[in-house]
Amino acid sequence: MAREWVTNVSHVEHDTFASLARARRRRARSDMSHARASPASGAREVGGRARGRGRASRARATASRALRGADGEHSTARDFVHIRNVCYSPAGAGRDILRDVNLSLPRKGLTLIVGRSGSGKSTLMTILAGLSEPTSGVVALGADETRASTPSAERLAQVGIVFQFPERHFLGTTMLQELTFAWPQTQNGFTKRRELAYRMNDALHAVGMERIPLDTDVRALSGGYKRRLALAIQLVRDPAVLCLDEPLAGLDWQTRAEVTALLNDLKRDRAVVVVSHDVEEISPVTDRAYRMENMGVLTDVSDELAGARASAFGAAADSFASFD
């Protein structure tokens, strides 16, 4: 019954959402072209170029300032995620998995975390997402940087997490079953279901799956579309923070490019945290980057990454090597 209702709402509202999504995409494209056009128009004359470079270096400095949290300094007023002195020593591990980890992230944009296997990247994401509790330290969400930890239930509600190879964890048969799996089923969950159904249309548009029938067998989807579906499942919840663990793993080159472009769209509305070894592919859409070393120690490598990008046809390979 509930599922029929959801399906009906989806079809009835389909056109409205399609036009809303088109308008949003047009707006985003116009923002992007404006952003691209601005430096060029500011560089019509030599003086303009100099001013343009001045602006660019100021922008880089601003980006660097936004990274202060990684060094243990206080986060800025515009930050939304505040991780302070987080330690994690689960019973049985016999050692610290994370020790004194500090990280602050703004409300929007893509943060890339790179680092050796076993350094604690996935562990930090599961703590941020409210799936585990730190042994000590603060994990707070919101504008108030001084607040105490946000309870894990609230973090679960505000942070979406897409694990590595999410398609391996699909439980339903159809797309609709996957998308509605965790929805409230009780009679008085009607209002919530309606809200989720509206968002489902938006989420499917966001990942470019709006034309695929909801009764499609998930096993029949291509690898890239399975990954998009996993993202849509999280987007339905409209999380303020979206964490993705190795989002490009196991995908072919074309799908990797598509998923990267999708991340570039998603970061406009929320904080996106990506853990990935695929630095070269993700770096063009990255706003800030950290390298994680043993026990979660984070170093700001945004400038290194920017440098590698700037010399993409030069010494890029040398710079990228330092992310291993």
Does 302 participate in binding Mg ion (rule CB under 5 A)?
no
| Strand 79-88 with 288-293, pairing | unpaired
Does 121 participate in binding ligand ATP (rule CB under 6 A)?
yes
3-state secondary structure of 219: helix
Does 283 participate in binding Mg ion (rule CB under 5 A)?
no
Report which secondary-structure segment, H or E, holds 232.
helix 223-235
Distance (Å, whole) CA 95 – CA 102: 19
Choose among Mg ion, ligand ATP, none what residue 224 binds, the Cβ cut-off being 5 to 8 Å by kind. Answer: none
Sign of the dihedral defined by the CA atoms of residues 296, 300, 305, 308, in that order: negative
Q: What x-and-dash track marks residues 83-112 binding ligand ATP by CB under 6 A?
A: -------x-xx---x---------------
Q: Which is nearer to Mg ion, 74 or 277 (CB)?
A: 277
User: Tokens for 168?
Assistant: 């391996």
DSSP 256-298: HHHHHHHHHHHTTTSEEEEE-S-HHHHGGG-SEEEEEEGGGEE
Q: Which is nearer to ligand ATP, 96 or 304 (CB)?
A: 96
Minimum distance of ligand ATP from residue 318's CB (angstroms)? 22
Q: Which is nearer to ligand ATP, 118 or 314 (CB)?
A: 118
CB atoms within 10 A of CB 179: 26
Beta strands in 193-270 (DSSP E): 241-245
User: Tokens for 227?
Assistant: 């990954």
Q: What x-and-dash track marks residues 122-161 binding Mg ion by CB under 5 A?
A: x---------------------------------------
Does 118 participate in binding ligand ATP (rule CB under 6 A)?
yes
Does 291 participate in binding ligand ATP (rule CB under 6 A)?
no
Does 213 participate in binding ligand ATP (rule CB under 6 A)?
no
Quick one: which of 213, 163, 156, 170 has its CA closest to 10?
213
Point out the residue whose Cβ comes nearest to Mg ion.
Answer: 122
Give the binding range for Mg ion (CB under 5 A) out of 116-124, 250-258, 303-311, 316-324: 116-124
Separation in Å, CA 165 to CA 28, 46, 128, 226, 267: 29, 50, 19, 9, 21
Minimum distance of ligand ATP from residue 115's CB (angstroms)? 6
- Residue from 109, 120, 130, 247 binding ligand ATP (CB under 6 A): 120
Minimum distance of ligand ATP from residue 272's CB (angstroms)? 17
Distance (Å, whole) CA 248 – CA 224: 9
- Residue from 62, 117, 187, 191 binding ligand ATP (CB under 6 A): 117
Distance (Å, whole) CA 51 – CA 318: 30
Beta bridge partners of 243: 161, 273
CB 150 within 8 A of CB 241: no
Choose among ligand ATP, Mg ion, none what residue 123 binds, the Cβ cut-off being 5 to 8 Å by kind. Answer: ligand ATP
Contact set with ligand ATP (CB under 6 A): 90, 92-93, 97, 115, 117-123
Contact set with Mg ion (CB under 5 A): 122
